[in-house]
Chain A
Amino acid sequence: MSDYLLKVENLKMHFPIHGGIFWRQIGKVFAVDGVSFAVKQGETVGLVGESGCGKTTVGRSILKLYTPTHGKVYFEGKNILELKRKDMQPLRRNMQMIFQDPFESLDARLTIGDIIEEPFLIHSIGNSEERIKNVKKLLNRVGISQNAINNFPHEFSGGQRQRIGIARAIALNPKLIICDEPVSALDVSIQSQILNLLLELQEEMKLTMMFIAHDLAVVKHISDHIAVMYLGKIVEYANADDLYSQPLHPYTRALISAIPVPDPSVKKKRQILSGEVPSPKDPPPGCSFHTRCPIVIDRCKIEDPFLRNMKNTSGNDHQVACHRAGEQ
């Protein structure tokens, strides 16, 4: 047994595109195209990249909300993609998700009490009295007044709704939580409240987390390791500090350089990437970043680089998919 709670191997999710008069399949969206990584028990892996690069699809495929085209997802050593529905059911309570828009993910007709109670009902846990007691405890834990138990989601602010979504996700003491842009829609002053709450809960409950976001500063704050995605692939994977201090992939370097720094005395020379992300329906041949890469060579246009392991200057494992990484 390894100490990895979650291990993803060569995960692919190709969405069919239908069209024409017979609504035949006329192409594919290569939303996720060969993603591998592993998360240790109690750690957080961050998934970062620009919109459309496949972050949400990775998260949803791991939870079997999609049926991946290819690959393996090991949870506690078992490949859950092979599990039958009835064998999957008991595992579900251990794998939860927190969404970007808590309002969309919460049923507007249910009170927040009902919403948080639901997981207990689904898994037939406790009697009515015990369930209410648990719901109140959870509300309390995420910083929502117990008196609000009979209120509806629309009566809460965005930050409060995210707290309610978190209460529901942690209700059954899960082992893994996949957070998909949980703070992206929140104002800065609320964002830091929610990040603190997630960090506290992780410590208390020994949670393993996957944290998906497009904001690298937020991802770095909360993660132990970070995977940088570009067009359905991981282009760099490293310890979070190393990724920031010694990025090896030109895309990671560009991402870091593009983040506006809240300090006007830092007049950094920004490296502005030209062009835009190509369509995942028709990814370029070779390295998918070559159309925007500032250090592209001929080889990049033909040969897709593997994600290969290098030791970085801190002596840590550091994976990068770039032909030119490690050149002197």
Chain B
Amino acid sequence: MGSAILKVKNLVTSFNTESGRIRAIDDISFELKEKQILGIVGESGCGKSVTALSIMRLLPKPSGVIESGQIMFNHTDIVDLPAEKMHEIRGNRISMIFQEPMTALNPVHRIGKQLGEIFHLHFPDMPKEKIRDESIELLQKVGIPDPESRMNEYPHQISGGMRQRVLIAIALAAKPDILIADEPTTALDVTIQSQILDLMMQLQKETGMAIIFITHALGVIAEICDDVVVMYAGKVAETSPVEHLFEDPKHPYTKGLLTSIPRLESPRKKKLSIIKGMVPSLHELPNGCRFQNRCPEAMEICKTEPPPLKRIADNHFVSCYLY
């Protein structure tokens, strides 16, 4: 078992909004181990992107702030790191692929130019010729056919799948220790998704980097992740190695998710088991557990005190009073 390269401890991130301050993530903790793929899964609005942006220290300013907690990268807490230091880490050590591929690429510059700029940023002494060679090699590595001619194309001239590959290339240019990928396959068709998942696993093996893979699809988690964090309404519901989570889910939310998805092998037209109701708004969170209104096993105590994240086995933590 590798040691942790990134430890998030009791992180609280909030936004000042017109209708008051909301805590988008509230006291979350998890670890990313060396050379591993950690999945963060949960429904829209549960705080996945905010978690990623907090780690990158790229929260929208001035509304978004890290209120408290630590983000230990190796042995440094990066929450309070001065901007220049953080800039350096972002460039060289931790890279991110953002959720919207079109906004992440500049539409008026050719792909080769955008990639070249990244190389220039990280390796200012690298000669032009070498930058070009490295760019082509990288595009090749992320599976872009005919990379030399792709260098001259604009982002809108290539398909969604190819754009995602270019973004992966850009994120990899600096040879980061950690890659954070925020829903990199959500907008893609399944056959293209499986190409990209395969590519990410292969790149992880080749480079030895650690990956945080954000998705709302449990199937994707099962296919590529080593560990998983299940989030619900800004909290960690459960975190564990992937096999544990799918074989023996503990949190009623995790159980509900796993039984409610239609599966190819299950009988047709049978009523799916459901999680009743909806996620509470961050503006009107209940006291106690945030899942209580939808939980089939809610008890009195769940209405008063938020459950702490409790260790129930090696590397398996659950925030639920049932345990």
Q: Which residues on A are within 8 Å of B, measured CB to CB?
A: 50-51, 157, 159-160, 187-193, 195-196, 199, 214-218, 220-224, 240-241, 244, 254-266, 270, 272-274, 276-277
Say yes or no: is B159 at the interface (Cβ < 8 Å to chain A): yes
B61 in contact (CB, < 8 A): no
Does B301 belong to the interface (CB within 8 Å)? Answer: no
* Alpha-carbon separation in the docked complex, A157 to B278 (Å): 9
> What does the 1/0 interface line of B214-233 toward A look like (CB < 8 Å)?
00111111110000000000
With most chain A CB atoms within 10 A of its CB, the pick from B197, B198, B265 is B265
In the complex, the 6 A-B pairs of residues with the closest C-beta atoms, listed nearest first: A260-B219, A221-B262, A187-B43, A50-B189, A192-B260, A192-B272
Q: Which of chain B's residues 30-71 have a Cβ closer than 8 Å to chain A?
A: 43-44
A272 in contact with B194 (CB, 8 Å) = yes
Could you name 25 residue pairs across A and B whose Cβ atoms are closer than 8 Å?
Answer: A188-B260, A189-B294, A192-B274, A216-B190, A217-B261, A217-B263, A221-B266, A221-B269, A222-B268, A224-B268, A244-B264, A258-B191, A260-B223, A262-B219, A262-B246, A262-B261, A262-B263, A263-B222, A264-B223, A265-B246, A270-B194, A270-B198, A273-B191, A276-B159, A276-B161
Cα distance A260–B272 in the bound complex, in angstroms: 19
Interface size bucket, B side? 35 or more
Q: Please judge, given known A-B contacts A188-B261, A221-B269, A255-B190, whether A272 and B195 are in contact too, CB under 8 Å.
A: yes
Cα A189 to Cα B262 with chains together (Å): 11
B295 at interface (Cβ–Cβ under 8 A)?
A: no
Interface string of B11-43 (1 = CB under 8 A from A): 000000000000000000000000000000001
Interface residues of B (CB under 8 A from A): 43-44, 159, 161-162, 189-195, 197-198, 216-223, 242-243, 246-247, 256-258, 260-266, 268-269, 271-276, 278, 294
A240 contact set on B, CB distance < 8 A? 268
Flag if B246 contacts A264 (CB, 8 Å): yes
Give, as a whole number of angstroms, the nearest-CB distance from B186 to chain A. 11
**B264→A189 contact, CB < 8 A:** no
Minimum CB–CB distance from B5 to chain A (whole Å) comes to 22
Q: Which of B43, B161, B266 contacts A188 (CB 8 A)?
A: B43
Closest beta carbon of chain A to B44's beta carbon, Å: 6
Q: Which of B197, B222, B261, B269 is within 8 Å of A222, CB to CB? A: B269
Q: How far is the CB of A292 from chain B (nearest CB, A)?
A: 8
Question: Could you tell me the distance between the alpha carbons of A190 and B275 in the complex, rounded to whole angstroms?
Answer: 8
Given contacts A50-B191, A196-B274, whether A256 and B198 have CB atoms under 8 Å apart is no
